[in-house]
C-alpha cells in the first residue's frame, strides 16, 4: 500500500487530494489504453508498475460514460476523446477540483483536532463541522495525504467500524478561508445581509447543512464578488433550462431565444464563470472571510440567492 500511496502523491501534484490523484490515474490509464491500441497485457503491466488496479480504473471510465449518458438530456457535455488534452486541463484546474469536491461533500466535512503520534501510538482525530461526527483516517485505504491539525478534511467515503467512523478518499484544505469561500460560491442556498460600521461595509452570509447554521463575514468587495458570481451561476441554470425545454430548436433559434432573455451562449457563460472562479482563488489573500457568531434573525430572507430561483419563462 505504501507504493500505491507514493504514486498517488506524485499524481496529486501540489494538491492534497485523493480525488485529484484518482482523476490523474484514470486519465493516464486512458492514455495507456489509447497508446497501446488494444494491447491489454501492456496496459496491465503499466498498472502493475504503478501499483494501480486495472479493474478499478476501467470501472471509473465506465461510470463516467454512464453518468454522461444519464445527464445528456439536461446538461450537454463536450466529448473530448484526447486524454492528453484532459490531463492538461486537470493540471491547470486541479485547485478547482478541490473546491468542487469540498462543496459536493460538505456535509461530511471534518476539522482535524489532533494529529497521529507514533510515539504515543495515537491516531489522527477530527470532528464534524456540520454534524456531531468524529472520525479517523482509514489506514487500510491508500491515501496521498496525512491529516494535520486544523486541516479541514472532506472525505468521500465514511465507514462505521465499531464505535468509530473511518474516512477515506479524502481532500485536505489547509485554509479555512478557502473552505468558506467555496461554500459561499456554490452552496445550494444562502441567506445574507449587508451591514456598515466605522470600518465600512461588510456582508454576513449564513450556510445551513444538516440543520446546523454557520455564519461567515466578508468584506464589502468580497461579498459583492460572491453575489455576482452566484448570479452568473443562476444564468447557467436558466440557459440549461431553456435548452432542455426547447431541445427541438435549431442552434440559431436557441441563440435568439437566449438573447431575448438577456443570456449569452452556454460555453461563453461557462468560460466567464471559470475565469471568475480562478481569479477569486488566486486573489484569496486579499479577501477577508471569517467564521463569526451572529445573533438575531436580521439576515434578509427575501434576497437569498438560490439555484432553485433560476426558473425562467419563455
pLDDT digits (tens, 9 = 90+) for 245-256: 998 899 899 999
Q: Are 112 and 83 members of one domain?
A: no
My answer on whether 211 and 245 are in the same domain is yes
- CA-CA distance, 119 to 255, in Å (whole number)? 65
139 and 38, same structural domain?
Answer: no
Note the pLDDT of residue 147.
93
What's the pLDDT at 190? 85
Closest CA to 74 of 214, 207, 309, 241: 241
- Please say whether the beta carbons of 20 and 12 come within 8 A: yes
**What pLDDT does residue 301 have?**
46
Here the cell at position 57 is 480504473
Q: Cell numbers at residue 229, please?
A: 458570481
Q: Are 97 and 17 in contact (CB under 8 A)?
A: yes
Q: Which residues pair with 193 in a beta bridge?
A: 204
Strand pairing class (110-114; 152-161): antiparallel
Q: What is the DSSP letter of 108?
A: G
Q: Are 122 and 201 found together in one domain?
A: no
- Cell numbers found for residue 96: 478547482
In a domain, 132, yes or no: yes
Helix (H) or strand (E) holding 154: strand 152-161
**What is the number of alpha carbons within 13 Å of residue 94 lying toward its C-beta?**
20
For residue 100, tell me if it sits in a domain: no
- Domain identity same for 33 and 118: no
Cβ count near 103 (within 10 Å)? 17
- Residue 206 and residue 290 share a domain: yes
Judgement on whether residues 46 and 158 belong to the same structural domain of the protein: no
101 in any annotated domain: no
Q: Residue 75: inside a domain, yes or no?
A: yes
Same domain for 298 and 184: yes
| Domain endpoint, select from 159, 174, 189 | 174
Q: Which ranges of the chain have pLDDT less than 70?
A: 116-122, 296, 300-314
DSSP-derived secondary structure letter, 163: T
Please give the C-alpha separations between residue 186 and each of 74, 244, 277, in angstroms, as whole numbers: 19, 22, 11
- How many secondary structure helices (H) and strands (E) does the chain include? 9, 9
pLDDT reported for residue 63: 95
Does 71 fall in a domain?
yes
Angstrom distance (rounded) from CA 208 to CA 67:
28
Q: What number of other Cβ atoms are within 10 A of residue 153's Cβ?
A: 24
Distance of alpha carbon 134 from alpha carbon 126, whole angstroms: 6
Domain ranges, residue 133? 106-174
The 3-state DSSP class for residue 46 equals helix
Residue 181 in any domain: the answer is yes
* Residue-wise DSSP of 266-312: HHHHHHHHHHHHHHHHHTGGG--EEEE---SS-SBSSS--BGGG---
Q: Do 185 and 304 belong together in one domain?
A: yes
Q: How many domains does the chain have?
A: 3
**Domain limit, last residue, from 42, 76, 95:** 95
Residue 247 lies in a domain: yes
Structural domain contains residue 277: yes
Cell numbers describing residue 98: 478541490
Residues 182, 304 within the same domain: yes
Domain end call among 57, 76, 95: 95
pLDDT given at position 38: 76
Asked if residue 293 and residue 245 are part of one domain, the reply reads yes
Same domain, 79 and 128: no
Q: Are 158 and 146 within 8 A, CB to CB?
A: no
Rg over alpha carbons for the chain, rounded to the nearest Å, is 22
State the angle between helix axes of 54-71 and 18-35 in degrees (0 to 180), rounded to the nearest 10: 100
Nearest to 211 by CA among 107, 64, 300, 313: 107
Amino acid at each position: 500500500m505504501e507504493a500505491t500511496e507514493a504514486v498517488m502523491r506524485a499524481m496529486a501534484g501540489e494538491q492534497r487530494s485523493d480525488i485529484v490523484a484518482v482523476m490523474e490515474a484514470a486519465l493516464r490509464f486512458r492514455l495507456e489504453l489509447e497508446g497501446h491500441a488494444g494491447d491489454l497485457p501492456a496496459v496491465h503491466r503499466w498498472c502493475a508498475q504503478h501499483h494501480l488496479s486495472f479493474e478499478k480504473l476501467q470501472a471509473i471510465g465506465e461510470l463516467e460514460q454512464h453518468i454522461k449518458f444519464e445527464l445528456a438530456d439536461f446538461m450537454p457535455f463536450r466529448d473530448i476523446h484526447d486524454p492528453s488534452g484532459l490531463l492538461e486541463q486537470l493540471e491547470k484546474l486541479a485547485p478547482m477540483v478541490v473546491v468542487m469536491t469540498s462543496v459536493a461533500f460538505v456535509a461530511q466535512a471534518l476539522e482535524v483536532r489532533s494529529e497521529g503520534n507514533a510515539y504515543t501510538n495515537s491516531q489522527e482525530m477530527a470532528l464534524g463541522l456540520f454534524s456531531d461526527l468524529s472520525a479517523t483516517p482509514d489506514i487500510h485505504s491508500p491515501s496521498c495525504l496525512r491529516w494535520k491539525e486544523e486541516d479541514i478534511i472532506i472525505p468521500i467515503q465514511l465507514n462505521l467500524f465499531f464505535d468509530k467512523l473511518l474516512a477515506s478518499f479524502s481532500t485536505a484544505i489547509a485554509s479555512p478561508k478557502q473552505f468558506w469561500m467555496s461554500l459561499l460560491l456554490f452552496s445550494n442556498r444562502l441567506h445574507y445581509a449587508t451591514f456598515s460600521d466605522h470600518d465600512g461595509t461588510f456582508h454576513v452570509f449564513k450556510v445551513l447543512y444538516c440543520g446546523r447554521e454557520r455564519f461567515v463575514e466578508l468584506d464589502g468587495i468580497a461579498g459583492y464578488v460572491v453575489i455576482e458570481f452566484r448570479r452568473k451561476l443562476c444564468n447557467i441554470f436558466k440557459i440549461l433550462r431553456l435548452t432542455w425545454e426547447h431541445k427541438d430548436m435549431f442552434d440559431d433559434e436557441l441563440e435568439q431565444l437566449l438573447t431575448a432573455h438577456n443570456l449569452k451562449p452556454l460555453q461563453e457563460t461557462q468560460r466567464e464563470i471559470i475565469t471568475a472562479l480562478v481569479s477569486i482563488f488566486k486573489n484569496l489573500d486579499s479577501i477577508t472571510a471569517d467564521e463569526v457568531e451572529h445573533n438575531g434573525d436580521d439576515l434578509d430572507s427575501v434576497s437569498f440567492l438560490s439555484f432553485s430561483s433560476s426558473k425562467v419563462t419563455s
